[in-house]
Amino acid sequence: MLQVLKDKSYTDYYSNGFVETDISLPEDLVDEIKGHYLAKSRGHNDFLKFFANNEHQAYLEGNAIGFFINAFPKTAKKMVKKFYDKAYNKAVYCEQAYIEKVLAYLLENGFQKLFRTRYIVASYDMYLRNGHDSPAAGIHTDLPNFHHLYETENDLSLFIPLVDLDDENGGRLSVLPEDKLRIPGNVLLKLLYEHFSQAPECLDENGYIESDRITPSQLAAFVKTKPHQDLMAVYKGATSLAKKSYAGDFKRTVETKGKVLMFNNKNFHAAEQWKNESIDREIYVIRMVPIYDARIKLKSTLHGTPVNNVLIDLEEGTIRRFDGPVDLATIPEAEKLKL
Ligand SMILES: [Fe+2]
């Protein structure tokens, strides 16, 4: 992350777990976002699409439910699905509706000053809504998965509450700072490259891995490899350490409606129970991915919707939207982070 963020924001991130941008979106933009998602039907939950293939396995295997999953995989999967169905009464992914508007506002207000790296990809957006009857999200890391494929240990999320998250309402985010415990993620990109660069049918003419060409059976074979299994064991171990040894070290934020917070969703985090019975908790998130020198292309879609199509130039303070995913081969090598 030292390569991604400037000294002050890096220090905030390292010791506090999150970076306050000190920028709040204008009230009318926040209301516009709320209005947009109000039109989506209640119960719409894209989160469940992540349950096809692998996913969350290491996280779940770390506790009692893990044993249950191994013994009764079908019933357990249904139970997990049910849990996430209850966790959000609306979860909408990849509308890509407000990425440019939000980033344009941030860049007008000095957002780029937080960064050392020149480019970052705005991968996709999401809207999450839950009520007081939803279970709070416990301690977890957003584990990498093959739906995204290109993920790093330094992915950054813009976390924008559309309602106040405070003592009265609850729903506050808390994060375990990196100076307490971190888990490796970039090594997964290395492993993916090492594995799939051996499959000529997955490579383009420049030797880049075409993420969209990797088949489910090829992924299943990768999952079984020793290095990947070793990494899953690391995730599992770290998750149990975070819960057992660091539960008291999470830093909590207080966020007002529209205030933009940045955090690394690969670091352990949790959300407090939502307490307000008369309104729902609503969050808008933009997931950003720093660019590394891994010769792996970004995926063009997530569950059928175009993603990875916005490039932010943090030196010029500009945003560019492409028809397809940002072509990482066009980014000068000197501007890429070293894996
Ligand atoms: Fe999360």
Distance from the alpha carbon of residue 137 to the mean position of ligand 1, in angstroms: 8
Of 304, 308, 303, 306, the residue nearest 290 (C-alpha): 308
pLDDT tens digits, one per residue of 292-314? 999 999 999 999 999 999 999 99
Distance from the alpha carbon of residue 269 to the mean position of ligand 1, in angstroms: 6
User: How far, in Å, CA of 295 to CA of 308, rounded?
Assistant: 16
Question: φ and ψ at 192, to 5 degrees?
Answer: -60, -45
Distance from the alpha carbon of residue 336 to the mean position of ligand 1, in angstroms: 26
Q: Is pLDDT above 90 for 32?
A: yes
pLDDT tens digits, one per residue of 148-204? 999 999 999 999 999 999 999 999 999 999 999 998 999 999 999 999 999 999 999
Residues lining ion ligand 1 (Cβ < 5 A) are 142
pLDDT of 55: 44
More confident residue, 72 or 140: 140
Binning pLDDT at 50, 70 and 90, where does residue 280 land?
Answer: very high
Residue 226, both tokens? 């020793």
pTM of the model: 0.92
Highest mean pLDDT among 24-28, 60-64, 213-217: 24-28
Distance from the alpha carbon of residue 267 to the mean position of ligand 1, in angstroms: 9
Residue 185, both tokens? 């993620």
Distance from the alpha carbon of residue 333 to the mean position of ligand 1, in angstroms: 31
Distance from the alpha carbon of residue 334 to the mean position of ligand 1, in angstroms: 32
Least confident of 128-142, 162-176, 247-261, 314-328: 128-142
Distance from the alpha carbon of residue 142 to the mean position of ligand 1, in angstroms: 5
Distance from the alpha carbon of residue 320 to the mean position of ligand 1, in angstroms: 27
Residue 317, both tokens? 């303070």
Distance from the alpha carbon of residue 237 to the mean position of ligand 1, in angstroms: 18
Distance from the alpha carbon of residue 322 to the mean position of ligand 1, in angstroms: 27
pLDDT of 288: 98
Q: Spell out the domains of the chain, with CATH numbers in brackets.
A: 7-335 (2.60.120.620)
Give the amino acid at 79: M
The Cβ of residue 68 has, within 10 Å, a number of other Cβ atoms equal to 15
